Structure 1
Amino acid sequence: MAAATLIMHHPVSAIAWSGTRCDVTSTRTLGESLAEITAMNAPLAERLAAYSQALKQAQSPFVEEYDRLVERIRHGLVGAAAPAVGDAMPPFLLLDPTGRMVALDDLLAAGPLVVSFNRGHWCPFCTIELTALAAARREFAELGARVVSVMPERQAFTAPLQAGLGGGVLVLTDMDNEYALSLGLVIWVGEAIRELMIGWGPRLDEFQGNDSWFLPLPATFVVGRDGRVLARHVEADFRMRMEVVDILRALRSE
């Protein structure tokens, strides 16, 4: 199940997995490696680590800049004020890919939620995470839960992403990062990454409809029927995400 994703096609040695062992097999592009990694039957952390390794093997110029960005996020305490376990999840009213306004309260009326903040359809780490969440839709449905992805992209990009995820994730548009900003989850990419993105893609100005070059810090909140946070994952290193098994465990604890 592949989501629509923009990838820089550097040649890279492919990642082959057997259990938890990683082997270099042949020359691939990053896009081909992403497809293989996304389809891996492995914990989410291992798949994300595999893509990080693929970026390093490709000698992507983003690797060092991403490391610097993570340190800047840590020092800036981004996410420190985000809702904690036991807090009420602040309400939102966001657009779905059809242009319909969707409210947090309306979604909670149908059951608990998994709210995932994602950088965009172009982000390989988000693709890996969202594909894993969509693949677990049966387990979520058994618990009456729904998965929502919040990202600062126009519907022209969220619609194909949602379709590519096979209906397992509802993708909502957070224009100008307003909701993420209210939770203290927004970062400026920095001039170095902005220039890399302009040169290599992705063009955030086109995807977001503005020239701010801000992104949400990827984060996951498991929200119970009463609107309170059951569990969360807020991590400065945006290459790490909440494991599906941990999300399911939190939902079962409600």
Structure 2
Amino acid sequence: MTLQARLDAFKADFLAGKPPYKAPADIHPIMARATAELIASGQAGRALKAGDKAPSFTLNDPDGKPVSSAELLAQGPLILSFYRGVWCPYCNMELQALQETLPAFRAAGANLVAISPQTAPNSRKSMRNNNLEFPILSDTHNDVAAAFGLRFALPDYLVELYKMLKNDLPAFNGDGSWTLPMPARYVIARDGTILYAEINPDYTHRPEPEDMLHVLPSA
């Protein structure tokens, strides 16, 4: 089953209120409104795209060790996945699909890292729960996401909904800004050029991991 098929099946169960995804029916239009407004903002079209130069960064892994994009690119092409957090089931399914494709990425000489605003303990939990063999780096305040054009602020009505659902982003992220990255994937060549970019303001839609493989031989 493809990643998107898995996401669609989860979304259908969630909208139908099937256990264990029972949620008040009135939350769905609110979430849909927020997604529609983010799409309409055009922000995804302003994010970095193929042909642009990727900004360099250094972020800590879940053990507090600094990880430099320059050091990773010295080893080969770099795959980045911007991850909203341990609380997002769609993001976790994506991480699982990336893990399944990790041997093919490594065979092509590429490194894979996920970037998330969440705290190190939550990243360790994400890695453990999803059986990941690649790191989730902590992007405090979504600064790296902002450099890629991905950071956005949740509208007030969505903040209130998240609070009602006990989805406390300030606690997850150690940051009170109520910002998130749009889900995005990048392949960056060793010289820093972005070869592949997929940004979708609709967090329920993700590209297949295999979609990146065709650019790696040229990276």
For 2:132 and 2:15, the matched residues in 1 are separated by 33
CA-CA distance at 1:141 after TM superposition: 1.3
Aligned to 1:68: 33
1:163 partner amino acid: R
Q: 2:87 aligns with which of 119, 122, 136?
A: 122
1:50 partner amino acid: A
1:249 partner amino acid: H
For 1:167 and 1:93, the matched residues in 2 are separated by 21
Aligned to 2:13: 54
Cα pair 1:88 1:229 within 8 Å, conserved: yes
SS at match of 2:52: coil
SS at match of 2:36: helix
Aligned to 2:2: 43
2:99 partner amino acid: A
Q: 1:84 aligns with which of 40, 49, 52?
A: 49
Aligned to 1:196: 161
Normalized per residue, the structure richer in strand is 1
Aligned pairs for 1:52-201 (under 5 A) are 52-58=11-17, 60-201=25-166
For 2:6 and 2:218, the matched residues in 1 are separated by 26
SS at match of 2:112: strand
Cα pair 1:113 1:222 within 8 Å, conserved: yes
SS at match of 1:136: helix
SS at match of 2:75: coil
Taking structure 2 as the reference length, what is the TM-score of the superposition?
0.91
- Name stretches of at least 5 consecutive residues in structure 2 with no aligned partner: 18-23
For 1:144 and 1:163, the matched residues in 2 are separated by 24
Stretch moving more, 199-208 or 163-172: 163-172
Cα pair 2:60 2:66 within 8 Å, conserved: yes
Q: How big is the alpha-carbon RMSD for the aligned residues of Structure 1 and Structure 2?
A: 1.6
Cα pair 1:62 1:193 within 8 Å, conserved: no
In percent, how many aligned pairs have the same letter? Answer: 31
For 1:95 and 1:61, the matched residues in 2 are separated by 39
Cα pair 1:112 1:225 within 8 Å, conserved: yes
CA-CA distance at 1:226 after TM superposition: 2.1
Deviation digits for residues 114-137 of structure 1 (CA, Å, limit 9, x no counterpart): 101111111011001000001111
Distance 1:128 1:167, change over 3 A: closer
Q: 2:181 aligns with which of 216, 238, 250?
A: 216
Deviation digits for residues 12-67 of structure 1 (CA, Å, limit 9, x no counterpart): xxxxxxxxxxxxxxxxxxxxxxxxxxxxxx11111111111112111644422221
Aligned to 1:37: none
| Aligned length, in residue pairs | 213
Q: 2:196 aligns with which of 207, 231, 250?
A: 231
